Structure 1
Amino acid sequence: MQYVVVFSSICGMAMGFGTAYWLTLKKLKYKFEEIEKEEQRILRETEKKAETLIKEAQLEAKSRLLEMKSVFDAETGDARAELKKEERRLLQRIESMDNRHEQLQKREGDFEAKEKSLNITIENVAEKERQVDDLLDSTKKELEKVSSLTSEQAKEILLKAMENDARHEGAKLVKRITSEARENADKEAKKIISTAIQRYAGDFVAERTVSVVQLPGDEMKGRIIGREGRNIRALEAATGIDLIIDDTPEAVILSGFNPVRREIARLSLTRLISDGRIHPARIEDVVSRVTEEVDVIIKEAGEQAAFDLGVHGINIELIKIIGQLKFRTSYAQNVLQHSVEVAFLSGVMAAELGLNVKIAKRMGLLHDIGKAVDHEVDGPHALIGAKLAKKHGEVDMVVNAIASHHEDKMPETVYDFIVQAADALSGARPGARKETLENYIKRLEELEAVANSFGGVSNTYAIQAGREIRVIVESDKISDTDAVLLSRDIAQKIESNLTFPGQIKVVVIRETRAVEYTNK
């Protein structure tokens, strides 16, 4: 019974599941049919839209095509018009070319006719030249017979005569040109130099190779030397200067190549003597303080020189080197004062010539900076100064002016010659420098020897401290025209063989005397 109930319940459940499954399938079938209908509807609508879009695209394409066609027609119309114009121009050019071709053909025919006539003329001229040559040969032979000279001998005589005439004419021309050039050049140069001298006046300081310190008494010498020489050794070690203590009464001599160190030693020893406390520790302290003070003095001297001249923008190291020139002398002339003087003269000359005054003053102020260190560095002071200037940022124009002011390097600009002239003028003006008697006599003898080396010279006299040399020549050997050439040759030989500042005037004197005596 139980099995029957279970079976019947199972059968009922199976029928329920089957009925539910059938209903589900029916619903799905209905949904599929609706989906197919929707798809067909969407397809129909899509096809309609596609047809509409195609028609619109076709219409737009047609309108664009028409528009492009109209634009193309307009553009091609302009191009066709331009082509027609160009065609007309080409036709006109062709016609003008045809006309020119006809004219050229006519000219060619004229040229051929002229060429034929010219050939005939050339043949006639050649024939006449042959006749003239024959005539010249016959004339030459007749002249050789008459004069008893060959053509080569006659040519040599004629050339010598022409050479002598040319030499005399050349000497006259050289004399005239030289006199005119010297007259104008001397006038302008004297004007510029006199203006520079009038606008500047400077004194000079006597050159000192050693420094002398006066003592209050000879007993101070022992205190300076110290026990077993410890004080003098400490002073020499601190300053780098040699102290000479000899029999000179109440004086100590300081000797050294460095003028700055010599000044430091002089000031230090002066203070030690006035203070009275002289021992190694005190010496080192005083020398250190004096060194600082001298450095300040050097810097202030350089700055003052640059300020007085209106030269700005110089490197501080160059300012210090310029200040060191205050303690340097050359031929009894203070080098700093000389540099300031050269700078002023260079500025005046540049102003007279219409050049840059500031750059000329800068060159003049820096031209001798090599002398501040030439006792420490090998080489000419001009090249040493040029290297210092270049190292500290000076322009090439200034560097070359420094290097060339003694012609250690070739001058490149007019400023180089201005600095040379100002340097020579500052050193050669009366009272600027002192010269030893031996060097003075030697320079005069060298001048006279150069002049005496030429033929026809009887006597020479160097005058005006070697600024002028007068040459007496033999009148029977040297003519007036030869005297002009001789003065020029002597001047050139002096320039090439001797070194001298400024200018040397060469005067050749030729004298002819006629003497006659009366008899009764």
Structure 2
Amino acid sequence: MSTILLYCLLAAVVALVAGLVVGRQLAGKARQDLEGQAQARAQQLLQEAEEKGNRIRDERIQQSKDKNRQQRNEFEQESRRLKAELEAELTQRRQGVMEQEQGIKKLTETTQKQLEQLQRKEKELEGAREKNQADTQQLRDKIEDQNEKRRAAHEATLAELKQKEEEADAQLHAVQRQLETVANLTAAEAREQLVESLKNEAQLQAGAFIKDTVAQAKLTATKDAKKIVLETIQRTASEHAIENCVSVFNIESDDIKGKIIGREGRNIRALEAATGVEVIVDDTPEAIIISGFDPVRREIARLSLHLLVKDGRIHPARVEEIVAKTTKKIEEEIIEIGEKTVIDLGIHGLHPELVRMVGRMRFRSSYGQNLLQHSREVANLCATMAAEMGLDVKKAKRAGLLHDIGKVSSEEPELPHAILGMEMAKKYKEHPDVVNAIGAHHDEMEMTAMISPLVQACDAISGSRPGARREMMESYIKRLKQLEETAGAFKGVNQCFAIQAGRELRVMVDAENVTDERAAELSFEISQKIEKEMQYPGQIKITVIREMRSVAYAK
């Protein structure tokens, strides 16, 4: 039994070993099959991955080619557009350069013409100077000849008087003898009668001689005065500047005109309201016209435009700020001009207010003649003539500079400028001779100083030179000022500006005190008053502007 069990166990062990061997072989075969399948699968996956990679690579390459083609097309289109823009800009710049060349050519031609005119004027002036010198020399020679003739005539008269005296002595002796023999008169009585007769005859002859001498002296004095005036004019030669009512503001490009005008014209309206001038923006290339009869206003507008264009920020608030700064700068420049003028002329101790008024003369014209240049010329003429006549040169020069100071004063405009200037000079402690010369240079008061007729004569010399003055300019400016004063007299009016060469009057009113209905009535009332009180050509447009501003501050 045990042997059977042993055999059974042994058979089981053998079967187990055989099963293990067979299982291992089967497992190895299965493993080899699995490895083959895995390798086949891996090979297939690798092949599929390679095909997919090639396909993706081909797609990416194609996409890159399409994208490159699209970018190339876009680049070519952008290049063509930029090329067209560059060609257009180049054409525009070339045209601008051609226009500038034409402008430079025109400017060169104009400059050449002006140079030729200046040369011609210099030749004419040189000829006139030579002619004046020749006339002066001829006048001197003539005066010397006349003096020689008068001297010879005087000597002949003395000889004739001496001969008559001798004849009178002989007659005296004869009469004396005759009286003694015929009339039985004493020598003393005869002498008295003879002396009386000779006395009457001598008085008649002396009166005639004195009359001739006085007439000759008057003729000589007139000629000497003419000689002094001629020499003074020759020694004091100055240019003459005719002021006009238009200033030109040059700009680099016409694109700036749009910024100056602003949206719906608000910038240019703000500038006109702040300065009181008319700003004309038209088709004139690279230029803006500033029109106004007051030179100070035009200069303020021109400098304000320059600062605004340079800064680039142009809007109504900025315009008002710049105009306020420019006005202050102009006042400082006026004082500087006055100080430079008195230093150039060698005038010392002038009151600061008078110095400021002398500077204001630079921006004032009288009959088209610049007032400061006219006053400087009168001062130099007075100094030259005073030196020739032995008078006080410093007083004469001082009075000549200040003689028209009343024209730049805003006080008491109803007074004549000579009287107003005299009152101002008296107020600022000027010498009485200077005060009298200022007040009497238009014969509006009696001359009491020796320099007074000098100032009057030199004022006439400076103003009467050919081309120095224009009467129409003075009357035109007076009419424009009268326009502004007429409108400014109405209640509620803040500012008045005469523009368009006097064809339009712009009136700024107080929005708090003047309603819209009152503004319409005010324009009608001003027009009626102008029609009644003034004379003017054509018609005048009255524009009343009522502007309401609301200001608040956030804190």
The normalised TM-score by structure 1 is: 0.46
The normalised TM-score by structure 2 is: 0.43
